[in-house]
């Protein structure tokens, strides 16, 4: 492709006349589509779910970090339209792919959503267009999977169209760091591709960080999330040791955090959750295995983190034993089932594993969560109960599994007979009925 055509798309991105598309309108894709629309681009959001597409049109943010007012503004102005009609891909100059990248049961990457989205683009691809993959995936996905599928169109990546990877770093529920102010890493299949993708993001993101290839950009994301998973495993193991040694792990972390260099606090908890940290490191270890490299740290971290729900259940059994009660037939109330505070996402949530283990031990489980009205996962089929109703109804032991800011912790401490706090949500509160992780 001549540099003139990259200049053409760059000019249309800068004057906002380029038409943009986002495939997959979830926690990642919807905020990105809204940012594009807010910047004045005609933006089309695609999803396979009809109810999602219609709901967004009606102002439903589906628990994402998008402000309802902003969503209504961009949909009523016509800057953002949503559709399940992938024929409309033909209208667009640039397409971002933000579909899920889960694991199969065997912990192998499941790229079926990415492949399906790319095939839909490939059959409608035209010269001069930009395609950016944002879904988290293993190094090599763009070059080995996405590029060949798109080139079935007869067009050549880097020559006839632009292709890049840009990892999504959004942190749902984080009000300080959002799509607009989290720096965006971009790696294209050639310099033109990186340059065009960089200009796309510069229209809506404060800082863009170009890297030399899609492989580097893919690996950046996996380093970041593996770093988190491994450090959480380390601090979880320190929590397990501290319990045996009779040391308060939370006090240890607070004091260690006063070191101004060389230490960064991570906190123990009931286990990993969400669509990223429990999953992404396995994308990396799977890909490394293809080359004969066995990652040891990733596997070990996964093992420690996935043992945490069992440890929480052991703490519940221990707390109950102080009250001369067995787990069997005890009523255990979970405070929070979302995988982290202030979100409605229950994917991979350790609270569900804890509920399952408690039920298996013969306990009767209930829960409160202001963000999650019901849970249906395996044998765990539960409806949320209001906190006050749960306290009025009584239970034998409460477990703080997610430290949502809406919970009235003073009330919970006052009225619960026994509490196991897995999140240090009761920091500073004392009482012989409080057991910390």
Per-residue mark of binding to ligand NAD, 112-131 (x: CB under 6 A): -x--xx--------------
Sign of CA dihedral 66, 69, 72, 76: negative
Site for ligand NAD in 276-295 (CB under 6 A): 276
Q: What residues are paired with 420 via a beta bridge?
A: 399, 435
Question: For residues 205 and 357, which CB has a smaller minimum distance to ligand NAD in the complex?
Answer: 205
SS3 content of the chain, % helix, strand, coil (to 5): 40, 15, 45
Choice from 66, 71, 95, 98 touching ligand NAD (CB under 6 A): 98
Q: Which of 163, 155, 154 is nearest to 130 (CA)?
A: 163
Name the closest residue to ligand NAD (Cβ).
Answer: 26
Question: For residues 41 and 282, which CB has a smaller minimum distance to ligand NAD in the complex?
Answer: 282
Name the one range near ligand NAD by CB under 6 A: 18-26, 235-243, 320-328, 370-378: 18-26
Burial of 60 (0-12, 13-18, 19+ CB in 10 A): middle
Choice from 6, 13, 20, 24 touching ligand NAD (CB under 6 A): 24
Q: In whole angstroms, how close is the CB of 24 to ligand NAD at the nearest point?
A: 3
Per-residue mark of binding to ligand NAD, 160-189 (x: CB under 6 A): --------xxx-x-----------------
Per-residue mark of binding to ligand NAD, 38-77 (x: CB under 6 A): --------xxxx--x-------------------------
- Tokens for 138? 């293993």
* Lookup result for tokens 């429990």: 278
Q: Which of 422, 356, 421, 419 is nearest to 390 (CA)?
A: 419
Q: What residues are paired with 187 via a beta bridge?
A: 165, 211
Query: Angle at CA 8, nearest 5°, toward 6 and 12?
Result: 115
Question: For residues 42 and 141, which CB has a smaller minimum distance to ligand NAD in the complex?
Answer: 141
CA distance 365 to 381: 10
**Which entry of 71, 95, 249, 276 is annotated as an active-site residue?**
276
> Is 275 one of the binding residues for ligand NAD (CB under 6 A)?
yes
Question: For residues 192 and 280, which CB has a smaller minimum distance to ligand NAD in the complex?
Answer: 280
Q: What residues are paired with 211 via a beta bridge?
A: 187
Sign of CA dihedral 300, 233, 165, 349: positive
Choice from 135, 285, 295, 422 touching ligand NAD (CB under 6 A): 135
CA atoms within 13 A of residue 70's CA, in its CB half-sphere: 16
Max CA distance (Å), the chain:
78
CA distance 78 to 44: 10
276 is catalytic: yes
Choice from 13, 25, 125, 238 touching ligand NAD (CB under 6 A): 25
> Is 29 one of the binding residues for ligand NAD (CB under 6 A)?
yes
Q: In whole angstroms, how close is the CB of 425 to ligand NAD at the nearest point?
A: 22
Q: What residues are paired with 435 via a beta bridge?
A: 420
Burial of 296 (0-12, 13-18, 19+ CB in 10 A): exposed
- Residues binding ligand NAD: number (CB under 6 A): 27
CA distance 371 to 373: 7
Q: In whole angstroms, how close is the CB of 327 to ligand NAD at the nearest point?
A: 34
Choice from 40, 100, 128, 140 touching ligand NAD (CB under 6 A): 100
Name the one range near ligand NAD by CB under 6 A: 96-104, 238-246, 256-264, 400-408: 96-104
The three-class DSSP label of residue 200 is helix
Query: Residues interacting with ligand NAD, by CB under 6 A?
Result: 23-29, 46-49, 52, 98-101, 113, 116-117, 135-136, 168-170, 172, 275-276
The set of catalytic residues is 276
């Amino acid at each position: 492709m001549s540099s003139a055509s990259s200049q053409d798309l760059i000019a249309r991105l800068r004057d906002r006349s380029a038409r943009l598309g986002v495939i997959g309108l979830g926690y990642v894709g919807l905020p990105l589509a809204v940012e594009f629309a807010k910047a004045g681009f005609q933006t089309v959001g695609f999803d396979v779910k009809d109810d999602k597409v219609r709901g967004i049109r009606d102002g439903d943010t589906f628990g994402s970090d998008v402000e309802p007012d902003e969503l209504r503004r961009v949909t009523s102005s016509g800057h953002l339209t949503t559709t399940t009609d992938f024929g409309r891909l033909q209208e667009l100059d640039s397409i971002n792919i933000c579909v899920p990248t889960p694991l199969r049961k065997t912990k192998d990457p499941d790229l079926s959503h990415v492949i399906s989205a790319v095939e839909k683009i490939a059959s409608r691809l035209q010269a001069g267009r930009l395609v950016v993959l944002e879904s988290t995936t293993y190094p090599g996905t763009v070059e080995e999977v996405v590029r060949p599928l798109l080139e079935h169109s007869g067009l050549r990546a880097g020559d006839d169209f632009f292709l890049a990877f840009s990892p999504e770093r959004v942190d749902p529920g984080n009000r300080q760091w959002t799509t607009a102010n989290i720096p965006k890493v971009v790696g294209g299949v050639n310099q033109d591709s990186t340059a065009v993708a960089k200009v796309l993001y510069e229209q809506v993101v404060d800082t863009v960080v170009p890297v030399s290839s899609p492989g580097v950009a893919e690996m950046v994301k996996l380093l970041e999330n593996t770093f988190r998973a491994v450090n959480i495993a380390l601090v979880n193991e320190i929590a397990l040791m501290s319990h045996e040694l009779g040391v308060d792990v939370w006090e240890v972390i607070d004091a260690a955090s006063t070191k101004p260099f060389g230490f960064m606090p991570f906190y123990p908890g009931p286990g990993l959750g969400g669509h990223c940290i429990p999953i992404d490191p396995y994308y990396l270890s799977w890909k490394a295995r293809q080359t004969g490299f066995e990652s040891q740290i990733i596997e070990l971290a996964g093992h420690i983190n996935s043992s945490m729900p069992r440890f929480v259940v052991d703490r519940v059994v221990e707390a109950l034993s102080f009250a001369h009660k067995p787990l069997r037939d005890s009523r255990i109330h979970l405070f929070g089932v979302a995988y982290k505070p202030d979100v409605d996402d229950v994917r991979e949530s350790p609270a569900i594993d804890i509920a399952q283990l408690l039920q298996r031990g013969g306990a009767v489980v209930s829960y409160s969560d202001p963000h999650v009205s019901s849970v249906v996962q395996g044998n765990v089929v539960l409806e949320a109960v209001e906190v006050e109703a749960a306290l009025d109804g009584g239970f034998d032991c409460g477990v703080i599994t997610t430290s949502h800011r809406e919970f009235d912790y003073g009330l919970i401490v006052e009225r619960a007979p026994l509490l196991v706090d897995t999140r240090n949500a009761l920091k500073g509160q004392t009482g012989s009925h409080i057991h910390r992780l």
